Every structure is written in C-alpha cells, then in structure tokens.
Amino acid sequence: MDLNSYSLLTSLSSVIINDENKNSQMSTIAHEKYEAVIGLEVHAQLLTESKAFAPVSTEFGGAPNTQVTPLCLGHPGTLPVLNENLVRYTIKMGLATNCKVAEKSIFARKNYFYPDLPKGYQISQYETPICYDGDIHIEMESYEKTIGLTRIHMEEDAGKSIHDQDPRNTLVDLNRAGVPLIEIVSEPDMRTPQEAYAYLTKIKQIVQYLEICDGNMEEGSLRCDANVSVRPRGQKELGTRTELKNMNSFRNVERAIQFEIERQIELIEAGGEVVQQTLLWDANKMETRQMRSKEEAHDYRYFPEPDIPPVIITQEMLDEIKKELPEMPDIRLQRFISELQLNEEDARTLTENRGLADYYEETLQHLNEPKAVANVIMTEVLRVLNEESISISDFKITSNRLAELISLKHDDKINSSAMQQIFNEMLENGKSSAEELAKEMNLIQVSDAGFIEPIIDEVINQNPDEVKRFKEGKKQLIGFFIGKVMQRSKGKANPKQVREIIIDKLN
C-alpha cells in the first residue's frame, strides 16, 4: 500500500470514531491499517533413547530422579559425551526443511541460575548452529507461502520444577535434565495467526514423518514461543515485538497471537507504545499477561563449551542420512494425486500422518483399488481412530484383512451394509478373515435369480397399493421395494440385481 492510501485510512478511522458503533468499526479499520509480523521459536523433544550427553534413558514417566547420572546432577568433574543420534536427528530435520548443514558447528554454554539446572548452564548452540537457511512450505485455503527458517540448533532440556505437590516447597525432578531438543527458529515471515497455526502443524507433520519427535504439544514434546509485532502496512522496519510463552496447544498458539495482535494495535491506536517483553498466555482468561520485562536485560554470557569438541559433518555422513529420509509429506501428497488419481482433499487426509499413509499403501498392495480403499479408510477406519482416540498403529484390523473385506464388496460378494457389519465384527476380533466371517454371519450376497425372484414376487403380492402407485408414476417407490426385499433376504440379495428384476416385473 502506498503512503496516500495509508493516510486515507488514517483519516477514515478518525471519521468513524464518532460513529455509534465505534468499537467494532474501529477495530476493523485499525486491522486494515496494520500488518502483524510473527516469528516462531519451536522446541522439539527428540526421540533418542538416551540423553544428549549422558548414557541414561529419556523415557517419559519414570519415578522422579531415577533417570539421572552425576552429569545430569551437575557434579563437578563430569564430562559430557555427545549422543550421535542427536546430531543425526537434527540433520534429518535440516535436510527435510531445505537447510544448509554446517560442516563444523560448536556447542556453547548458556549460563543462568535456576533450581532445575544444577550445572548453572544449558548446553546449546549459539553462533554456529548445525543447520541454517532453510524453509517450510505452508498451504492456506486460498494461497501458499514459504516461511524462512533462520536456524535449527541442538540443545539440552532442563529439569522440571514442580510447584503444586508440596504445600511449602518446590520439588525438582531431573529426569528431563539433558533430554535432547532441537530449536527451530523461523524468520519473521508469518503475517496472521492462521499462518502460524499452519506452520506449526507442518512442523509437527515433518517431525512425525521423520520419526524424530512425537509432535505432541499437549504433552510438551513440541513447544512454541511466538514473537509478535505490528507495523503500519507498507512500513519496512519491524515494530517492537513481544514474546508469548506458555501455549500448550495449537489452538492456543493461534488464539494467543490473535489476542496479542489486537492488544498491540489498540495500544498504538490509543497513543501508547509496545514494550519489548515476555508475556504468558493464560488459557483460562484467554489473555496474555506480563512475565518479565526487559528481555534484553538477559545476558547469558554465552561461551564455547570447552568439554565438547566441534561437531564435524562429513559428506559421507550427510549422504548416509539423506538415504534414511522417508518420502516427505508434500511429495507423497503429489504422488497420491498423480499416481493414484486421488483428489487433493483425499490425498491430503491420507498423507496427514505417515502411519496412515503407510497403512493405505499396504492395503493397496493387497488390493489395487486406490479409490475404493481410500473411501473405506477415510470413513470407517478414521471414524474408529477418532472415536477411540488411537493411532493407526493401534488399529486392530491389519491391512491385508481390510483389503480382503473391501474386495468382497468390490466383487459384489457382499453389499455395503454387510461390509459394515463384518467390519464391526473384525474390530472385535482383528484376526478373523473377512470371507470366513461373511460366511459365518451368513452375509454372502446371493446373485442367483432363483433365490431372489420368489422373494420379490412375495413383496409385490403383499403390497398391492404401492404397486399401483408405482405404476401410476410414483417411481421413487423403487426404494421401498428394494428395502423390503433386502430385509427379507437378510441382506444377502444383491441390491443392483434386485432393482433390475423389480423394474422388469413392474413394467
């Protein structure tokens, strides 16, 4: 927007202030005047078996302080030893997001005092992150966009302070101290809370495809700090930002950013100034509140970690890791569209998570009917996963059993209601074969006219009124006849054939 239209909007907003409905009108105008700028810092907890610098388990849920070594406790004289998988997982993330990988990167000490950090410093990376200059592609409803990644670096988690178990004391659990994290820092490229939501969703999808993090934000394995500022549209320089913390779901990230954008615009419109500070999102009150001001005052006195040698990445190591990368979601999505001829929406649903996409393709190995299999998975299978809040890895029906069931229907051996009944039965007992169940449950469709015709005749004889109306032109009654016949055949008749014979007989 050029300067002229900007001043036009300014004068427009002063006109509207006198309007009765000033609040809502003003906020819309104010929104048009300003543009929000958002950059995210995302921490992902890596699924390595042992900690970043000590050979001890990272498993979640152990009794407090049972998964610790002298190193995690900050004992003097202990030495960190770098977990190779921390490096490999981080590089996977870097390669999957088009980052450059530094040939040589170093760890640094970030010094601060906190009870859950007995060493007095966190091992992180500072000046030389291992991955940098990447990007992540997001798809919005009506446009697509690429968000720049400044860097991805490796670091360790701190322990956990527990404030609500003892009435007097804060308790400290150091099981989490030293668990490996990556921090993914974006460029300030997002402009709306929805873009931030899409970006975060994409990160979750990527880490899950790579199997380096479970992506669960509610449980804290994915954490997000949001930096938010606003500026008049058309202005080049960034406005003063605030940093939002404590959002433990995707929706809360979106809501907190939305709230903060509006707060900043209202503040500026009222003649105030945004102060650089860290704010906590309060999900109950749906508002941000101050945590500490003067973030700039933090001085972590970073210096290179003297106990860990520089991390050197060779071309061989890079090539090897590249080979381990799975097909990534965007590419898989395109392949599902071009190779399997799925529409985009279906392809998107099926590639949303890797386990589901794998299950779908495994089913296709047994029955190469992409559309039919997609339909059953997107309706029946996803319904069960949602109802039971389970993931596909816990789904009872194996892909070859599902393929067998779908092919029974595909070959017209059972009808859709029978398929549904057998599906439900298989859920109870995933091991049974669909065909055996169909026989046991007496659901094999009979396409033998000798079986169907007497039933049709009976239905026609018993419903003379409907027959009369049908003949007078009320053709919708065909459904009524088919229904009766299906009922009487106990679902075994082939509805297509039933329809043909009825029409034949009634004309």
Residues that bind ligand ADP (CB under 6 A): 37-41, 185-188, 227-229, 238-239, 241
Residue with tokens 């003379």: 464
Residue 386 CB, shortest distance to ligand ADP, in Å, is: 34
Residue 262 CB, shortest distance to ligand ADP, in Å, is: 15
Q: Is 222 exposed, middle or buried (0-12, 13-18, 19+ CB in 10 A)?
A: buried
Residue 29 CB, shortest distance to ligand ADP, in Å, is: 22
Residue 230 backbone phi and psi in degrees, to 5: -130, 160
Residue 228 CB, shortest distance to ligand ADP, in Å, is: 6
- Residue whose CB is less far from ligand ADP, 37 or 203: 37
Other CB atoms within 10 A of residue 269 CB: 16
Residue 128 CB, shortest distance to ligand ADP, in Å, is: 14
- Residue whose CB is less far from ligand ADP, 173 or 260: 260
The answer to whether the beta carbons of residues 148 and 115 sit under 8 Å apart is no
| Alpha carbon distance 23, 45 (integer Å) | 43
- Residue whose CB is less far from ligand ADP, 108 or 438: 108
- Residue whose CB is less far from ligand ADP, 60 or 302: 302
| Alpha carbon distance 437, 395 (integer Å) | 19
| Alpha carbon distance 359, 363 (integer Å) | 6
Residue 273 CB, shortest distance to ligand ADP, in Å, is: 14
Other CB atoms within 10 A of residue 424 CB: 11
**What's 271's DSSP letter?**
T
Residue 279 CB, shortest distance to ligand ADP, in Å, is: 13
- Residue whose CB is less far from ligand ADP, 23 or 235: 235
- Residue whose CB is less far from ligand ADP, 158 or 342: 158
Residues 6+ apart with CB under 8 A from 167: none
Query: Alpha carbon of 148 to those of 137, 151, 228, 333, 338: distances in Å?
Result: 9, 9, 16, 22, 28
Residue 338 backbone phi and psi in degrees, to 5: -80, -40
Query: Alpha carbon of 47 to those of 132, 196, 209: distances in Å?
Result: 22, 24, 13
Residue 296 CB, shortest distance to ligand ADP, in Å, is: 8
- Residue whose CB is less far from ligand ADP, 69 or 111: 111
Which residue sits closest to ligand ADP, CB atoms considered? 39
The answer to whether the beta carbons of residues 488 and 502 sit under 8 Å apart is no
Query: Alpha carbon of 401 to those of 271, 349, 372, 404, 442: distances in Å?
Result: 67, 22, 15, 5, 18
Residue 105 CB, shortest distance to ligand ADP, in Å, is: 17
Residues 6+ apart with CB under 8 A from 373: 360, 363, 364, 367, 402, 403, 406
Residue 287 CB, shortest distance to ligand ADP, in Å, is: 19
- Residue whose CB is less far from ligand ADP, 48 or 227: 227
- Residue whose CB is less far from ligand ADP, 288 or 445: 288
Residue 10 backbone phi and psi in degrees, to 5: -60, -45
- Residue whose CB is less far from ligand ADP, 276 or 432: 276
Q: Is 309 exposed, middle or buried (0-12, 13-18, 19+ CB in 10 A)?
A: exposed
